[in-house]
A and B are shown apart, each in its own frame.
Chain A
């Protein structure tokens, strides 16, 4: 990933910022040009709660360049209904179960070698205590 692309994505990566349709209140993440429900094109920024449950998961043992295996990937069903693909962290493969509650944390997604820049973004970990949005 190059720097300008990363910069463009930071509100989504750091804050799970999606959008709320101004006409029908549908939440979308990531943001789209058009509302998937009503076709509306006016939106306001909306930050997702970051809380959800594991919908499916896998342990990646063969990985693309830049992602040292093993690591866990999942589809997470957020409280708001959005189904999101993301890494799981702070958990071992044998501990993961479909349906387990998880919450968003900001972690390193990728390092471009010891001299390169760092990409930070959302991952999910087992729910640790009650959390509010900020």
Chain B
């Protein structure tokens, strides 16, 4: 397999884009990534998206975006892996380049959630759970994550307040990211008193519904041109777990996250402590905690202690959500996995502005879908 490099990254601001649709958001992010890479065309476009069929009524989305971004007649497909779609699209692009099928490919993650009313968006999001046995009974992502959080608190004797550092860190970092949705730090009190969405999950445990698109251009070593700032994809892996939460041997273990991250560590010869930052899938604070445990940063039930010690903040042993994360940058679901890689690229290139970490040579990014039924993990290095 050939080595794969990221040579361009682009994004739209994350938020409620009432005047922009899928084509505008997608084309903007794709052209921004191409401009950043200083390339005019690509061999293929891979689109990570979850909801275009049920929320926007738009399938054949990749062709729509290839057309809108002036990339015709490039090969173009949509890749759907629930909230991990954005990470999956980057992995698909990396695989195509590594396998020698293409030399330069752009992957875009995109979601346009505000095209529909909230009830329909929630129903669409719930379709990533088992439709017959979960979603049709009234479950949503947040509901399933709430079951994990309640059980976590019960088994490990933890209070909801102890999850606060994840949300506080994300909001503090988002303040320094001009593309973030919530650019305002929150207090512990605001976290504590945020109204419940699905108890014990409160509004400030959860990432918002929003729109956005982010894109990266990947290529072979040979295709790198002077003036580009290439970053190597040191490892890429994906794994799955049961659709039904109840079917897991242990609902407090994110098996897909553990398997995909350990495959990345194995393939790269690196370990958790070699990472300078971790763009975790912080859609809910409980998922952040379980991700840290799954990726080897904390033992079972230990993630909250890690957070309490300041480990996840900038300058800590494993900074997370360095640009605001899903929680505060925003979580346009199918785009989030790509945003994570774009944000990591900014850190590794030393262009993260006020959020720039002192040392940022290697980043772990992990995009999780369907409350842990699918995870895509990458290690990127400068």
Contacts and interface: CB of A to CB of B under 8 A. Distances in A.
A binds B: yes
Interface of A: 1, 5, 9, 12, 30, 36, 55-67, 71, 73-75, 82-87, 93, 98, 109-110, 119, 121
B176 to A, nearest CB: 29
A89 to B, nearest CB: 11
A133 B119 CA distance: 37
A36 B246 CA distance: 14
Interface string B318-350: 000000000000000000000000000000000
Given A75-B147, A85-B133, A93-B199, A62 B123 contact: no
B246 A61 contact: no
A1 B84 CA distance: 25
B295 interface: no
Given A30-B132, A56-B154, A64 B140 contact: yes
A73 B139 contact: yes
A13 B196 CA distance: 29
List the 7 shortest-distance A-B pairs measured between CB atoms, nearest first. A83-B246, A58-B146, A65-B119, A64-B123, A64-B122, A56-B151, A56-B147
Given A60-B198, A62-B122, A71 B138 contact: yes
Contacts of A12: 132-133
A64 B147 CA distance: 17
Contacts of B134: 85
B371 to A, nearest CB: 11
Contact of B138 (A9, A75, A98, A109): A109
Given A56-B150, A58-B198, 19 more contacts: A9-B132, A30-B133, A56-B147, A60-B142, A61-B196, A62-B118, A67-B138, A71-B138, A73-B139, A73-B198, A83-B247, A84-B133, A85-B133, A85-B144, A85-B147, A85-B246, A87-B137, A98-B150, A119-B136
B120 interface: yes
B251 interface: yes
A59 B122 CA distance: 16
Chain A contact residues, majority secondary structure: strand
Nearest to A29: B133
Interface string B94-118: 0000000000000000000000011
Contacts of B251: 56, 75, 83
Interface string B183-198: 0000000000001111
Interface in B124-148: 125-126, 132-140, 142-144, 146-148
**Which among B147, B154, B251 has the greatest number of chain A C-beta atoms within 10 A?**
B147
Contacts of B122: 62-65
Contacts of A66: 119, 123
Contact of B143 (A55, A60, A109): A60
Interface of B is mostly: helix
A121 B119 CA distance: 22
Contacts of A36: 247
A82 B138 contact: no
B197 A55 contact: no
B32 to A, nearest CB: 33
B151 A73 contact: no
Nearest to B252: A56
Contacts of A56: 147-148, 150-151, 154, 251
B201 interface: yes
Given A9-B132, A30-B132, A65-B122, A57 B138 contact: no
B175 interface: no
17 contacts: A56-B147, A56-B148, A56-B151, A60-B138, A61-B198, A62-B122, A65-B120, A65-B122, A73-B137, A83-B245, A84-B133, A85-B244, A87-B138, A93-B199, A98-B150, A98-B151, A121-B136
A21 to B, nearest CB: 15
Contact of B198 (A1, A9, A62, A109): A62
A55 B197 CA distance: 20
Contacts of B143: 58, 60, 73
B136 A61 contact: no
A13 to B, nearest CB: 9
